[in-house]
Structure 1
Amino acid sequence: MKKIISAIWKHKVRFIIVLLVVAGGGYFVKQKFFPVPVAVRYVESTVERGVLSTVVSGSGQVSASNQIDLKPKAAGDIIYVGAIIGQEVKAGTLLLSINAGDAIKAVHDAQDSLETAKLNLDKLKAPPDELTLLQSQNSLAAAKESLASYKDNLAKSYEDAFNTVATVFSDFPNILGDFSNVLLNADFENHVANVDWYFNHGLSVDFSNEVKMRDYHDNTVSSYQAARAAYDASVGDYQAASRTSATATIESLIDETYETAKKISDAVKIAGSFIDSAKDSMIQSGNYLTLPATIATHQSLMSSYASKINSHLSSLLSARNSIESAKNNIVSISRSIAEKTISYANILAGPDALDLRSSELTVTQRQTALSDAQAKLADYSVRASFNGVIAAFTAKKGDTVSMGSTVGTLITKSRQAIIAFNEIDVAKVAVGQKATLAFDAIDGLTITGEVVEVDTLGTVSQGVVSYNVKVLFDVQDERVKPGMTVSVNVILSSKPNILLVPNSAVKSEAGGRYVQQLDALGNPIHISVQIGDSNDTMTEIISGLNEGDKIVTQTISAAVTTSATASGGVPAGGFTGGGGAALGGTFRALR
């Protein structure tokens, strides 16, 4: 024995190799000629009707569906605070007020201005009252009466003017006759005309004034001749006219008579100055103890005629002005009558369309101004823009705030989930799709929601593109807080009341799909089916099966040993790849 052990130990490597070969060969022979019996078992399920849903899943954070910072649009001292943190508020609730004295005054001024514009418009639209109509009628009638009066005045002015001309022409012959006698008679020296006598005696003392005296002499003669010629020309026109002559004839006669009177007045003035100058020269000479009395007579006549002619000139000018005034009055009152006639017609017709439109525009402008003032006044108040909860608030009464500074935060009670999807899944998501939401922090809570927004621009992070999707909760649960983690399944499609089988039951073969059913002996047979949509777990059956049919969903094989079997006929060795119970199926075994 020792020799045998020693030999084995000496050749242990060879011995081990031989032993392994012998054992392997024995195992091969056993498996080849003496196989272990294999038991095959099948897991069955029942074809049922249900809802087939296709979903994409994602996770994200809970947030308020709406959140805004509370910012005043005006600057000033806070005079009222009506919000505290955690307070629920309704849309429009006053949260804060700022001193707005100037803005309030601007609103009051705009209201007064608008009221004035409305009153003016109402007054314009109102029908004319009896007093207004009567006043307009009386004003028009008075103007027409004035026109008649002015026409009478004009006629009288023409008659008075002709009378004035007649008076003037009645004096002209006497004036010109006496004027001629003063100049041409020889009252001082035989055969020497008075005008020459005055010239000669004006030179007797101072021959140096010959030029002056010569000018006086010549001007006196020439002016008298011009006056005489004007008279001779105008007297014929006067004699041809009468009170009934045309107004233009009378006006022309007045002008002609006035010019004639001016020439006679000029001639008388020049002659009087000539006589006065000659007399002065004679007095200065001292050659005359007594001057001829005729000189004084001539001076008196010239002075009298000058006064009379000037009076005629004034009367003629007055007559001319009276006619012009009467004519101007007629023109003016005629225009007034036209205006009053149109005004009366407009009163009867109602307000002018342009005036009415202008007043309406004024009212509109004043309304806009009031709206602007009210909007500016509203800037001095901070109000809740929606129903929500005050999440933060820092303002206190008496603080001074600047325009646009943040004094608090308002959030809605409604919640939403913001989920990031990859570029493949987001292409399947659309606004309006329903979703289910579950929360890591709240066991057993599932809430439904709806997709309300899908980002159009993605966000790239470390080379991965993601798109945010907002899902609005259908119901609110007080336990759900902003910031919580949420898992979301967005339902892409849903088919209700269709035949469904587990995906594992459907198999493929050439030409189509099939499922397996067990015959009476427990052997599987193939049943051809037509399938529709499917998701990760279930497949729609269009034809080939009926509700309640049994089908094979899993095949399980296990080796039979000589040991005792477990209760229920399942070998103690168990199943490889078990889990039939988890599928809700039943076992059938074949030996």
Structure 2
Amino acid sequence: MAQKITSKKSLHKKSTKPDFKRPQRKHYYVFGAVMIVVLAMLAQSIFGKSSELNYDYIIASIADLNQEVSVTGKVKSSESVDLSFENSGKITTVNVKVGDKVNKGQVLVTLNSSELNAYLAQANADYQSAQAELMRYEAVLDQEKAVLAEVKRGTRPEEIQIKQTAVTNAEKALEDEKSNLEAVQSEADTDLDNIYKGVKDILSDALTKMQFAMDHQLEDMFDESTAEKDTLSFSIQDPSLETQVKWDKREANASVDNLTNSINALSDASSYIEYDAALNTAISSLSDVNSLLISLSMAVEDSATLPETTADTYRTSINTARSNIDTALSSVNTKKQSISAQIATNNTAITAAETAVSDAEHTLLSAQDNLTLALAGTQPEEIAAQEAVVKQSEAYINTQKARIASAAATVQLYQARIAKNSLVSPINGIITKQDAKVGEIIASATSVVSIISESKFQIETHIPEVDIANVNVGDMATLTLDAFRRDAEFEASVIKVDPAEEVIEGVSTYKVTLEFTQEDERIRSGMTANLEIQAASKSQVYAVPQRAIEYVDGTKFVQVVHGEEFEKVQVETGLVGEDGMVEITSGLEEGDKVVTYIKDQK
């Protein structure tokens, strides 16, 4: 809803003198005079220090403005009206022909407006987008105001209790996570210890298989009479292979001894590292025995003197021994893999439990900080910061309102341009000429259609060039006739604006023809008409009195009250209303106190 702009009286008012009664007795005269002097001195001490400026101001708010052009004219008998387009363009529709009866407001001929329609659609979209953005800003402002209210209110007792409960719960959660970590670590130790308990049995089994192979399965293949017992009991053709067999036999014997010593060194007090070392020794020892078995197998195949039955026996012994050694090696490797897998599982579980403890510690610290903050209450700087946020949101809204006004003006601009592409009958009448053809390019100001009016009388007036730009065909006017009382008002509408000037008494003017909207038998030709033409209007705009605007070197300013000081603000102006109010298109915000009068006081 548009609001009327109201004016507030001066903030500083002059005091009035007290009205003393005339004393009844003569001896009161002196006392009364003394009292007057005392009161005058007291008033001077109280009011003498007030502001030296006495001023009036108005509150900037939304208003509707109307612009009128006041002129006089003469009533004349009706005549035909010639209609033309203000702009050139291509004719798209012709709705009448000569002899047709038309009504006021009827569309007669139109020009192509496709491009303007596209611009209008874009302008409407921009306007709607600006409105949506305003709604978003208003929602944000509501949220920020709610936050400000919360900040000003401070922490409620129930909120402190909630935060205290959060601390208690966080402490309990931390204790639970610590207990869980201890349980996970204990379970991990137990699981790993159980796996290591079987290591010694696997090592002993591997040693047994190695010793059985060396002492029984391979015994007949070596000459036991030699000191090292590493010489083959049969001859082979490859000397290097024979040397390899001797080397492998010695390595295997040493490996058996090494594994024996490692196993004997293990006890219940041995560490996991010692068990891991024994497993690695077993793998190395089994590999050495396996190497001996491979070289022996090659030696049997290389012998040319070994009987076939003996060779078959040796082959069987070697294969059996290799199978046993492979089984033992697989068991040792499987145990090592089980240990590695258990360690990985333990590490994952422990890491997860440690992370849970760390998270619980952080949660507790956060809960404690929140409780401390709640107990401390709201600080002044917090309120100031949130108030600044609210003011910023309000500034965004004011800026967005200005954008909406600009977008609305753009919509109105394109609507006006589109309207000018339609030739509309300004009167009720009959078509006497129609020269428009569809597809024809018509020039501006070219007479296209002529209409003879059905009414009896029209009004002719001449409007000065300073006002003619505000008068358009279709504008309404109220008028009085000198022949009647001032309260006898009539209505008329502008039906024609001549494009050519007429110089009257040295002033460029333009003839404007109006038609009465209703017939009245009292009207006579030659009567003088006093016209008020409604030339322009705007709704929902900021407006201030013309006297509030200052002009400095072509720039316009107003003074805005801030506390006890004035700020000079640059503004842009628009429409000037008939009541002396001027549209402010930029520079002011709703609620600003705009100074309209300042007087220096002595």
Q: Which bracket does the TM-score occupy, shorter chain normalised?
A: 0.3 to 0.5
Bigger Rg, structure 1 or 2 = 1
- Name the TM-score, length of structure 1 as normaliser: 0.40
- Name the TM-score, length of structure 2 as normaliser: 0.39
